[in-house]
Structure 1
Amino acid sequence: MQLNFKEIFTAFMILFAVIDIVGNIPIVIDLRKKAGHIQSEKASIIAGVILIVFLFLGKSILNLIGIDVNSFAVAGAFILFFIALEMILGITLYKQEEHDSMTTAVFPLAFPLIAGPGSLTTLLSLRAEFRTENIIVAVLINVIIIFIVLKTSSKIERLIGQNGINIIRKVFGVVLLAIAVKLFAHNIKALFDVV
Structure 2
Amino acid sequence: MNEFYTQLITVFLGFFAIMNPIANTAAFAGLVGDSDRKEQIQIAAKALILTFCIIFAFSLLGKAIFHLFGITLPALRISGGILVFLVGYHMLNGKSSTLHSADGNDVKDIAVSPLAVPLLAGPGTIATAMNYSASGGITGIGITVSVFAVLCVITFICFIFSAKILKFIGKGGLDIVTRLMGLILTVIGVQMLIGGVTEVIKTLPMS
User: TM-score normalised to the size of structure 2?
Assistant: 0.66
Consecutive unaligned residues of structure 2, counting only runs of 5 or more, are 134-142
Q: Kindly provide the amino acid, as one letter, of the partner of residue 27 in structure 2.
A: G
Find out whether 1:147 has 2:148 as its counterpart. no
Q: Kindly provide the amino acid, as one letter, of the partner of residue 22 in structure 1.
A: A
Q: Which has the higher contact order (CA 8 A, sep 6+)?
A: 1
Matches of 1:78 and 1:47, distance apart in 2: 21
Q: Kindly provide the amino acid, as one letter, of the partner of residue 30 in structure 1.
A: D
Q: Kindly name which structure, 1 or 2, has the bigger radius of gyration based on alpha carbons.
A: 2
Question: By how many angstroms is 1:117 displaced?
Answer: 3.0
In the alignment, which residue of structure 1 is the partner of 2:201? 192
Answer with 59-68 or 119-128: which moved more. 119-128
Identify the structure with the greater helix proportion.
Answer: 2
Matches of 1:173 and 1:41, distance apart in 2: 19
Q: Secondary structure at the match of 2:122?
A: helix
Contact conserved, 2:85 with 2:190, CA < 8 A, in 1?
yes
Q: How does 1:59-138 map to 2 (within 5 A)?
A: 59-94=63-98, 96-100=101-105, 107-118=108-119, 119-127=121-129, 131=132, 137=147
In the alignment, which residue of structure 1 is the partner of 2:169? 160
Q: RMSD in angstroms over aligned alpha carbons?
A: 3.7
Q: Secondary structure at the match of 2:26?
A: coil
User: TM-score normalised to the size of structure 1?
Assistant: 0.69
Distance 1:25 1:69, change over 3 A: same
Question: What does the per-residue CA deviation read over 1:139-168, in whole Å, with 9 as the maximum and x for residues that have no partner?
Answer: 633542333422x34332111222333333
Q: Kindly provide the amino acid, as one letter, of the partner of residue 43 in structure 1.
A: K
Matches of 1:18 and 1:89, distance apart in 2: 22
Aligned-residue identity in percent: 20
Q: Name the count of aligned residue pairs.
A: 187
Consecutive unaligned residues of structure 1, counting only runs of 5 or more, are none
In the alignment, which residue of structure 2 is the partner of 1:3? 8
Aligned match of 1:179 in 154, 168, 188? 188
Contact conserved, 1:76 with 1:122, CA < 8 A, in 2?
no
